[in-house]
């Protein structure tokens, strides 16, 4: 199995947080502190091949997309 590959990046400027998709069969989203560039946490369970990211800072929501059905 290949390692996860970074694909998409989104920034929440209000919280100075960077979100990066780790593309793969079991995709993840890495959550990084924008000031220190240190990994804060990893979000799992995003489905296979999660690629796109969108942030709604007012609702405090992060959205991701996947091209795979039934993930």
Q: What is the pLDDT of residues 4-31, one digit of tens each?
A: 889 999 999 999 999 999 988 889 999 9
Give the pLDDT score at 24. 85
Whether the per-residue pLDDT at 61 is higher than 70: the answer is yes
C-beta atoms surrounding 42 within 10 Å: 11
50 within domain boundaries = yes
64 within domain boundaries = no
The parent domain of residue 39 ranges over: 5-59
> Minimum mean pLDDT among 1-5, 26-30, 43-47: which range?
1-5
Whether the per-residue pLDDT at 64 is higher than 90: the answer is yes
Whether the per-residue pLDDT at 71 is higher than 70: the answer is no
C-beta atoms surrounding 71 within 10 Å: 12
70 within domain boundaries = no
30 within domain boundaries = yes
Give the pLDDT score at 48. 84
47 within domain boundaries = yes
């Amino acid at each position: 199995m290949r390692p996860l590959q970074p694909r998409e990046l989104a920034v929440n400027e209000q919280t100075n947080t960077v979100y990066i998709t780790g593309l793969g069969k079991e995709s993840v989203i890495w959550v990084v502190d924008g000031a220190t560039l240190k990994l804060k946490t990893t979000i799992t369970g995003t489905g296979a091949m999660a690629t796109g990211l969108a942030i709604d800072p007012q609702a405090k929501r992060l959205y991701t997309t996947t091209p795979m059905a039934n993930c």
